[in-house]
Amino acid sequence: MELTTVWFIVIAFLWIGYFVLEGFDFGVGMLVGLLGRDDRERRVLINTIGPVWDGNEVWVLVAGGATFAAFPEWYATLFSGFYLPLLLILVALIIRGVAFEYRGKRPEARWKARWDACIIIGSAVPALLWGVAFGNILRGVPINADGEYVGGFVNLLNPFALLAGVATCTLFLTHGAVFVALKTDGEIRHRANRFAARIGLAAAAVTVALAVWLNLTEGTPVSWLVSALAAMSLVGALVANRLGREGWAFIGSAATIALLFVAAFVSLFPDVMPSSLDPAWNLTTTNAASTPYTLRIMTWAAAVGTPVVLVYQAWTYWTFRKRISVAAIPVEPAVPAETAGR
């Protein structure tokens, strides 16, 4: 297999890993506003992802770095072209990351409420905008002969891309709710279970519409097949959720996200960023790629490094496999702002 194809697969793998892993912690982040009724419940929600969200986030950094190294032209066009959405994503990731670390570091209710808002917004914005970004990549954007994006900002807000954004957002919410049901106990577990059932239906409707649209315009037999598998695993996840088989429901929602992005990357290949102006100006795995020498070095590094990363990240999930519940969260008296502090 061509090294450029190998690296297309590696980068697809990194993005899929990112969306499967951070997908549920984006979902949990949004659910802090939807399922957490008081401080202790919100802490339960946040603690379900506490030990892992940071490691999950590194997947996007590695995906970005690997794109830079393997397909510099893709990296340059994508990141300079999608300037404002990426700026919003960066701001969201900044306030979200700081919020996780800082919210518990002072007792005041107002302090916590503000950081909770940062967690919710910081999770919702990337959940929506990553979908918009990928929707645009799949549909093709105005790229000129120099490989430069010339479409401006408003052009990115087209119906297909917005639908893709709603799809990732609802899928991540479903994935997050299923994860909360899997990782918690007591009232919050049941609430997450019920919420997953409802949001899952919405996600299914949007995702099926998106997949049909994508496959009608860009589809190949393989992408049709993979999309169908994605739809089936979402149905499976919802059935498992109804039956209270939370582990299976989580595997199902993870598989849905993974398969949906597999379908996306399959329909994209061999392009990495098609031009809507002229197919001759498409960025492809060959014309956007680094030299074979660089790709060979990167292949060795990835072959050695990736399994190790997978092992220790898996070990993290194993270490923190126990369910947590409100009963385990110590009661911390709410401190009104004026009496708090030093």
Partner 1 sequence: MSAESLARWQFAITTVYHFFFVPITIGLSGLVAGLQTAWVRTGSERYLRLTRFFGKLFLINFAMGVVTGIVQEFQFGMNWSEYSRFVGDIFGAPLALEGLLAFFLESTFLGLWIFGWDRLPRRVHLACIWIVSVGTLLSAFFILAANSWMQHPVGFTLNEARGRAELTDFVAVLTNPVVLVTFPHQIFACYMVGGAFMAAIAGWHLHRLRSATPASEPTAAFRTALKVGAVTLLVSGLGVLVTGDLQGKVMTTVQPMKMAAAEALYETEQPAAFSIITIGSLDGSREVWSIKVPYLLSFLGTGDPQSEIKGINALQQSYEKTYGPGSYSPNIPLSYWTFRIMMGLGFAAMAAGAFLLWKIRRGRLPSGRLWLPLVLVLPFLPLLANSFGWIFTETGRQPWLVFGLLSTAAGVSPGTTVAEVLTSMITFTALYGVLAVVEVRLLITYIRQGLPEVAAVETEPADDVPLSFAY
Q: Residue 145, interface with partner 1 (CB under 8 A)?
A: no
CB of 222 to partner 1, least distance (A): 28
Neighbours of 198 (CB within 10 A): 13
324 binds partner 1 (CB under 8 A): yes
Closest listed residue to residue 93, CA positions, set 125, 129, 71, 133:
125
Residue (176 or 200) nearer to partner 1, CB: 176
Say how many CA atoms lie within 13 Å of 315 toward its Cβ: 6
70 binds partner 1 (CB under 8 A): yes
How many other CB atoms are found less than 10 A from the CB of residue 2? 13
Interface stretch with partner 1, choices 62-70, 219-227, 250-258, 266-274 (CB under 8 A): 62-70
Q: For residue 159, is the peptide bond before it cis, meaning its omega torsion is within 30 degrees of 0?
A: no
Neighbouring C-alpha atoms within 13 Å toward the C-beta of 255: 19
The distance of closest approach from Cβ of residue 55 to partner 1 in the complex, given in angstroms and rounded to an integer, is 4
Please name which of 56, 223, 199 lies closest in space to residue 138, comparing C-alpha atoms: 223
Q: Does 293 bind partner 1 (CB under 8 A)?
A: yes
Binder to partner 1 among 13, 100, 179, 213 (CB under 8 A)? 100
Q: Which stretch binds partner 1 (CB under 8 A): 69-77, 124-132, 254-262, 272-280?
A: 69-77
Site for partner 1 in 217-276 (CB under 8 A): none
Q: How far is the CB of 243 from partner 1 (least distance, A)?
A: 24
CB of 166 to partner 1, least distance (A): 24
Residue with Cβ nearer partner 1 (280 or 308): 308
Strands 184-185 and 324-325, by their bridges, are parallel
Give long-range contacts, CB 8 A cutoff, 24+ apart: 294-302. Answer: 294/69, 294/70, 295/3, 295/4, 295/6, 295/7, 295/70, 296/3, 298/7, 298/66, 298/69, 298/70, 299/3, 299/6, 299/7, 302/10, 302/66
Candidate ranges 141-149, 202-210, 235-243, 257-265; the one touching partner 1 (CB under 8 A): 141-149
- The residue from 23, 27, 81, 135 that contacts partner 1 (CB under 8 A) is 81
Do 238 and 177 form a contact (C-beta atoms < 8 A)?
Answer: no
Does 52 interact with partner 1 (rule: CB under 8 A)?
Answer: yes
User: Is the Cβ of residue 84 or residue 222 nearer to partner 1 in the bound state?
Assistant: 84
Binding to partner 1, residues 169-198 (CB under 8 A) = 185
Alpha-helical (H) ranges within the chain are 3-34, 39-49, 53-70, 72-81, 83-102, 109-139, 159-183, 187-218, 221-242, 246-268, 292-319
Q: How far is the CB of 138 from partner 1 (least distance, A)?
A: 19
Site string for partner 1, 146-165 (x = CB under 8 A): xxxxx---------------
Alpha-carbon torsion 299, 303, 305, 309, what sign?
positive
Q: How far is the CB of 79 from partner 1 (least distance, A)?
A: 3
Q: Which of 232, 294, 299, 335 binds partner 1 (CB under 8 A)?
A: 294
